[in-house]
Structure formats: C-alpha cells, structure tokens
Amino acid sequence: MAQAEAVDSVVDKQPVIEVRDAVKRYGVGDASIFALDGVSLTIEAGEYVAIMGPSGSGKSTLMNILGALDIMTSGKYFLDGIEISSMDENHLSIVRGRKIGFIFQSFNLIPRTTALANVELPMAYQGIKPKERRARAMVALDVVGLGDRINHEPTELSGGQQQRVAVARALATRPALLLADEPTGALDSKSTADLLDLFDQINAAGRTVVVITHEDDVAHRAKRIIRMRDGKIISDKLNEERVA
C-alpha cells in the first residue's frame, strides 16, 4: 500500500481537478447573474472534499461544471490532466463516462431496469465486453452490499438501496473522481449513515471523493471543507477532526 502511494506520487503528479478562474454567467448585460464568479480550485488525487454553501451560493453550478454536465462562460478546467473546458459535447460524454462517477440526490437510476443493468449501463456505453462488465457490476454491487438484489428494479428498492445502486454504478467504471451532489438529501438518517460509511470506505481505498452538500454532519465526514457564497469560495480548509 505504501509502495503504491509512492508510485502514485511520482507518476500522478497532476491533480485530479484543477479549475482556474471559473466564471458562469446567466443572462446578458445588466440583467446577468454570476453563478460562479472567478472560482479557482485544486483537488489532489485521493482527497475527500466537501463543498458547502447555502442555496444560490453556486455550489450546484460548480458541481455541474466539475462533472462536465455544464460548460462555463470563461476559465479553464483540467480533469485528471486533460483540459475539458474546450471540449465539444461528444468528447465530454466520453470524459463523463470514463473519468467521473456521479451520485445524484434523486438517484437517477434508469426506471424499469434492474440494478445490475443500471450498473452495467455506463460500461456498455464505454464498449466494455458484456462478460467483463457483468463481473465488474457484480463486484460493485457486492461492495455496496446489494449482491442479493441485483435483479430488483428501482421501484422495488428503498431510497437507501437505490442510492447504493447509484454508488455501485459510479464505482464500476473506476472513475478518477466520485462526484456526489447532495447524496443524502433524499435519505433517512440510517441510510445516510450507511452511505457516508460507504464513502469513507471508498476514499480509504484511494478514490477521490467530492461531495456537494448543505448538511454539516455530511460535510464533517470529509477531510477538506470548501465553503461558498455568492459564486465565490469564502473558505477552504482541512477538517481537523478527520485529518488529525
């Protein structure tokens, strides 16, 4: 393990996320609103970062841009060393599939489709052979503790279980970055605790995790907390209780 980290630090010099002067403006002229007003941010591999802020602070916009779901008005964005701020939609879809694992507040599983098929889907779009992706999907579902529910459709699963399917789907592609947008927003406290334990476990295995949330207890599980307000980062510090 120590050896692997040493190799990582040599080979993987570049950060997972490097954002420079990100600006996202809606509307034009006097009526325009800056959702992001010059945000610069660097996240290294293996970090566990929480981005916090009230509604309208720009955290969701930042999340959409980090996830390559939206484009910024100006600024540069490097994801795992690749500049994606200038990519077209077709290349972005490839980047999303290979580099990013999404977890959404509303789970966003494909309806009327089994858990296994849902987890396999991103790998199918990447062109991974059915045999291999089935094996990887089974492993991922085992990791999140749903190995016995692979043939259940989303409506047959509880909220917590659906979110764990989403986590399995995100993990199965072995992304550089796990990006979670209010992942516990629709969960009860027991499911929330389970999910946060799962995130700890994933991060402990070396995966970079970025969680966007407005809940303090979720944020405090992260090792680094970034606070936003009015489209700007107002504080960015390590979470002493976790790092220490």
Partner 1 sequence: MSVFEIIRFAIRGLFTNRLRTALTTLGIMIGVASVIILLAVGNGSSKAIQASLDRLGTNSLQVRSGGGGFGPRARASASSQKPLTILDTVALADKTQAPDIKQVAPIVSTNGTCVVGANTSTPSTFYGTWPAYYEASNTSIQKGSYFTNDDVTNARRVALIGQTTATALFGTSNPIGQTMRCSGIEFTVIGLTSVKGASGFQDGDSLVLIPITTMENTITGNQALSSILVEATKSTTTTAAQSELTTILDARHGITGRKTADFSVFNQASLLTTASTSSQTFTTLLGMVAAISLLVGGIGITNIMLVTVIERTREIGIRKAIGAPKAAILTQFLIEATILSLLGGALGVVAGLIGSHFTIAGTKPVIVPASVFLAFGVSILIGVFFGGYPASRAASLRPIEALRYE
Q: Is 194 helix (H, G, I), strand (E, B) or coil?
A: helix
Q: Could you tell me the smallest distance in angstroms from the CB atom of residue 232 to partner 1? A: 21
Which spans of this chain sit near partner 1 (rule: CB under 8 A)? 64, 67, 69-70, 89-90, 93-94, 96-98, 102, 104, 108-113, 121-122, 124-127, 169, 173
- Minimum separation from the CB atom of position 179 to partner 1 (A): 10
Q: What is the rounded CA–CA span in Å between residue 76 and residue 220?
A: 29
Strands (E), 63-108: 74-79, 82-83, 100-103
Least distance from partner 1 to the Cβ atom of residue 123, Å:
9
Min. distance of Cβ 124 from partner 1 in angstroms?
6
Nearer CB in complex with partner 1: 3/55? 55
Residue that is written with structure tokens 């290294």 in the block: 44
Q: Nearer to partner 1 by C-beta: 106 or 158?
A: 106
Residue with smaller CB distance to partner 1, 34 or 125: 125
The least CB distance from residue 61 to partner 1, in Å, is: 10
Q: Which is nearer to partner 1, 89 or 148 (CB)?
A: 89
Host H or E run for residue 128: none
Beta strands in the chain (DSSP E): 17-26, 33-43, 48-52, 74-79, 82-83, 100-103, 177-181, 208-213, 224-229, 232-238
Which CB sits closer to partner 1, 47 or 120? Answer: 120
Q: At what angle do helices 130-143 and 115-126 cross, to 10 degrees?
A: 130
